[in-house]
Amino acid sequence: MERFGRVAGICLVLVGVLLGVNYTAKTAFAAKDTSGAPVKRPEALILLPKNINAVMVEKSTQQVFLYSSNNEGVYERFKFPCSTGATAGNKLKSGDKKTPEGVYFLTDEYEDRYLSPVYGKKAFPTDYPNFLDRQEGKNGNAIWLHGTNKQLKPMDSNGCIAMNDKDILRLTKFVSTGATPVVMVDSISYAAPERIDQERRGMLSFVSAWVGAIESGTYQEYLSLYDPGYLPNIQWWNQWWKLRKQAAGEDLKFRISMDSPGIYKEKNVFVLFLDMGIELGGKRVALGKRKLFVHKADGGYRITGDLFQTFPKGEVGNTGLIASAAKKLYLEISLGRTLQKPVEAWLAAWSSKDLKAYADFYSPRFFSDGMNKSRWVARKRRLAKKYNSIKVVGRNFKIDKGEKRSVVTFLQDYRANNFRETGLKKLVLIQEEGVWKIYRESWKKN
């Protein structure tokens, strides 16, 4: 675990660079009020992604707030009145006329032409009930942010958050489905910037350890970051472990990427929401929106919910997407290397004027520029005798793979005596008795 701690520490720095996060409180929350004192911030908004705004619903005051962020930190952009559930308290079941409390996300958007008049000019469904709600036995659905065709009255909805049409139309310009968090609370709790920044650093450190465990840790290290009462889907791990070892054997390493991370908090629950991807050999596969529910207890963090989220469908527990994407990437990179190596050997054979080895790279069915294989090789023999030295180098390889037929294109630099020419070489290769052979060849001068 000591080695793992060092890896996690390194990952923290790398994740910080990747996410574009500055770990200093001064730049994270630097705004001050007119007296010069630091402005307190909603402690629910630990980290807002760039260009993402947050909606906060305060039931006690019947207000909706929109928060944005800039280089100086999180700030209130505007607020307006709303109407929440007719019954006070946290929503527990269908029909109780209560508005839920927690961190949710907008899943869809409806125009007035698709709505009943009671929903006004615009409506946004949320993802209530989320994973934690279901774990706690809560039910019900259709908790929306919407306009209304009625006079707005406090606590007058069936659980939704209703707003005047002019206000929700204004809000529409600042929200987006699949990205905007909606934090619903009884009363907004505020905290000093230093405290929020401490929470942010703690969560980012924890997330970097989680990423490090996936990239290079053991099964036990990975599970140690989860709450003992929650067992994540782990069926993919063995395949992932084998792929990691295979890649390492070819001097390759999988990297987990995280983009546009948001960290939100409601009571003692943190919700991490980000775009997740996996990288290998310069290629990346997007995995989708990853959502982690993280509890803080006894000074430590533990994951109590781990899902991918699709919109508008909702949360998906198949975290095995990592292994399936890794397999796709590995096969693509590995096959690419399988094809690139013989092409590089073919270039080397021609550069050394080894015409026997050179000819072996061609299929008996080869045909290009009006020549079959024998005429093509005979022409190359004449050129080899003509030039004292030949050097051919390929770079910027691109491979369109197939089971029996593949296309390799690359930038070729051809030098012979004082002659030099650069252009795009294209090779069509076919498999013959398990060996890739050149079937067609073309050249386009730059």
Topology at the third CATH level for domain 335-445:
Nuclear Transport Factor 2; Chain: A, (3.10.450)
CA 253 to chain centre: 18
Q: Are strands 73-81 and 63-70 parallel, antiparallel or unpaired?
A: antiparallel
Are 266 and 102 contacting, i.e. CB atoms less than 8 angstroms apart?
A: yes
What's the mean pLDDT in 186-214? 95
Asked whether the whole model's pTM tops 0.85, one would answer no
Domain chopping of the chain, boundaries:
1-319, 335-445
Note the pLDDT tens digit of each residue in 396-413. 988 888 878 999 999 999
Q: What is the pLDDT of residues 366-407, one digit of tens each?
A: 999 999 999 999 999 999 999 999 999 999 988 888 878 999
- The pLDDT, as a whole number, for residue 139 is 95
259-317 pLDDT per residue, tens? 999 999 998 899 999 999 999 988 899 999 999 999 987 878 999 999 999 888 888 87
SS3 call for 45: strand
User: Is the pLDDT reported for residue 320 higher than 80?
Assistant: no
Cβ–Cβ under 8 Å, residues 15 and 258: yes
405 φ, ψ to 5°?
Answer: -140, 130
- For position 5, what pLDDT does the model report? 42
Query: Measured between alpha carbons, how far is 294 from 278 in angstroms, rounded to an integer?
Result: 22
Give me Rg for the CA atoms of the chain.
30
pLDDT of residue 11: 43
Q: CB-based burial of residue 324 (10 Å sphere; 0-12 exposed, 13-18 middle, 19+ buried)? A: middle
Tokens of 22: 């500055």
Task: Tell me the per-residue pLDDT of 17-37, one tens digit each, with 9 for 90 and over.
Answer: 444 443 333 333 444 555 555
Q: How far apart are CA 404 and CA 383, in angstroms?
A: 32
Res 444 pLDDT > 60: yes
Q: Which two tokens stand for residue 149?
A: 């065709």
So what's the pLDDT on residue 400?
86
DSSP label at residue 35: T
Lowest-confidence region among 11-15, 209-213, 337-341, 344-348 = 11-15
Q: How confident is the model at residue 207 (pLDDT cuts 50, 70, 90)?
A: very high
355 membership: H or E segment, kind and range:
helix 355-360
CA 182, CA 166: separation in Å to the nearest integer?
19
Is the four-CA dihedral 265, 269, 275, 279 of positive or negative sign?
positive
- Calculate helix-pair angle for 2-19, 193-216, nearest 10 degrees: 110
Residue 425: CB atoms within 10 A of its CB come to: 20
The rounded Cα 261 to chain-centroid distance in angstroms is: 9
Of 40-49, 144-153, 286-295, 320-329, give the lowest mean pLDDT range: 320-329
* Architecture, CATH, for domain 1-319: Beta Barrel (2.40)
Instruction: Give the rounded percent of residues in the chain with a pLDDT score beyond 90.
Output: 74
